[in-house]
Amino acid sequence: MGTQDSGTQFADLLVTPIAAGYHINERDHIALSLPIYVPTGAYNDNRLANPGQNNYTFMPTIAFTHLDGKGGEFSLMGALEFYTRNDAADYRNGDILRLDGLWTHGFGSGWNAGLVVGYIQQISDDQGPTADKLNGYRGRSVGAGRPWAGAASSPMPRPTSARAGSPSSTPRTAPRATASAST
């Protein structure tokens, strides 16, 4: 196996068999869901870059959104990720805690801008011969950015916000999203 690899194949399928939302009032909303990655993506143990992980990932998630009534919102989402063992690699990823936040301010005519933040912390060690050599190999990630959205009639594309209860509000974490690798 070399030190670099890349590939373009299908990743694992994400299904959400349980999703429930509750509208506390006109502006406040809460949602619970259980997204699951199913090992349907391309995987080859002799490659570094694999779009599939060759395991299941269970991600119980809770999300809250407050709409300010002026086009802005404040959303928080928390999730835990539990992985099954990848038998081909004799490896099990450690459990992950994921927190995401979004705040936007409405400027009228459907335009808004704000701030997004994300935090990922591995809360248990990876398991397997390679992980044992790396003392469990725990990872973490922090990120921030500036979202914007324009009116539907605008010539600019309109991104989807991370609203509570939206299946698209569950981002893939870094270990699963990578399609190229190097050592």
97-116: pLDDT as tens digits? 999 999 999 998 888 999 99
Task: Classify residue 98: in a domain, yes or no.
Answer: yes
Q: Bigger pLDDT: 157 or 37?
A: 37
Task: Classify residue 182: in a domain, yes or no.
Answer: no
Task: Classify residue 173: in a domain, yes or no.
Answer: yes
In order of 41, 92, 149, the CA distances from 9 in angstroms are 7, 22, 31
137-156: pLDDT as tens digits? 889 999 999 988 876 544 44
- pLDDT mean over 82-104: 96
Task: Classify residue 183: in a domain, yes or no.
Answer: no
Task: Classify residue 58: in a domain, yes or no.
Answer: yes
Model pTM above 0.95: no
69-83: pLDDT as tens digits? 988 999 999 999 999
Question: How many domains does the chain divide into?
Answer: 1
Q: Which domain holds residue 55?
A: 4-177
Q: What are phi and psi of 75, to 5 degrees?
A: -130, 140
Q: What percent of the chain has pLDDT over 70?
A: 81
Task: Classify residue 70: in a domain, yes or no.
Answer: yes
Is pLDDT of 64 > 60? Answer: yes
